[in-house]
Amino acid sequence: AQSVAQPEDQVNVAEGNPLTVKCTYSVSGNPYLFWYVQYPNRGLQFLLKYITGDNLVKGSYGFEAEFNKSQTSFHLKKPSALVSDSALYFCAAGRQAAVNKLTFGGGTRVLVKP
Amino acid sequence: DAGITQSPRHKVTETGTPVTLRCHQTENHRYMYWYRQDPGHGLRLIHYSYGVKDTDKGEVSDGYSVSRSKTEDFLLTLESATSSQTSVYFCAISESGRTHGNTIYFGEGSWLTVV
């Protein structure tokens, strides 16, 4: 069975500082990995994905994520956080060449303080 | 935003009553999904569809049924609602099940309260 862990329920960061949201996964075979963001009372918005290729993936709104196969991690990063980045972030994983049965982590709430 | 419309957006119902949530898409995507979101659990897949009249179970399918009679519509039915089904339900779509660059897009959610 596949699983995704987001070890931090909440991350607090000052505006302008780097932001990191952690994610580790367990998937048989080659994984595909996603990050989504959710604002209050809204649906999930796609940020970025890793399918194959470069380990550093660049996505929307200045976010990027680094795929590390040996550590089975896919941490989300942003060099300089904005107050508007405050939201709930979800990591999701699935198995390549299979039906899209994504497994989601429990979510990490990010609070960026002015 | 992906062309996904969920209805109703908010509903309060009584235990034991049937409830149907509707998802309508304008993207002509083949795959449609129903997820539920609960605190601490992230999103969990209830059912999904890979074509008209083609559906399959996800990880939390007990107590739910689905139907897809048209490409654009995917219905989720709670035959007899229970308090444990109080949740936020998200419909999602994707162009293909094989994820070579594929992405799942989500609707805005339906808040269901069972009292």
Sign for the pseudo-dihedral over CA of B25, B27, B31, B33: negative
pLDDT for B96 equals 72
B102 phi and psi angles, rounded to 5 deg: -75, 150
The dihedral region occupied by B84, where left means phi > 0, alpha psi between -120 and 50, and beta the remainder, is alpha
Q: pLDDT for A30-87, tens place per residue?
A: 888 999 999 988 889 999 999 888 899 999 999 999 999 999 999 999 999 999 999 9
CA–CA dist A40, B22 (Å, integer)? 22
Residue B99 has pLDDT above 60, yes or no: no
Q: pLDDT for B55-64, tens place per residue?
A: 999 989 999 9
Cross-chain CB nearest to B42 (options A43, A99, A107)? A107
Chain A residue with minimal CA distance to B58? A101
The amino acid at B109: G
Residue A81 distance to chain B (closest CA, Å) = 23
Structure tokens at B72: 């654009």
CA–CA dist B100, B95 (Å, integer)? 11
> B94 vs B64, which has greater pLDDT?
B64
CB contacts, 8 Å: B102 with chain A = 100
Cis peptide before A7 (omega within 30 of 0): no
B101 phi and psi angles, rounded to 5 deg: 95, 0
Interface contact B41-A106, CB threshold 8 A: yes
Is B103 near chain A, with CB under 8 Å?
A: yes
* Strand pairing report for A73-78 and A19-21: antiparallel
pLDDT for B111 equals 96
CA–CA dist A95, A31 (Å, integer)? 5
Q: List Cβ neighbours of B70 (8 Å cut-off, separation of 6 or more).
A: B52
Which of B89, B103, B110, B111 is the mutation pick for testing A, counting most A CBs within 10 A? B103
Interface contact A34-B103, CB threshold 8 A: yes
Three-class SS state of A59: coil
Residue B52 distance to chain A (closest CA, Å) = 16
Residue A97 has pLDDT above 80, yes or no: no
CB contacts, 8 Å: A107 with chain B = 42
CA–CA dist B32, B7 (Å, integer)? 15
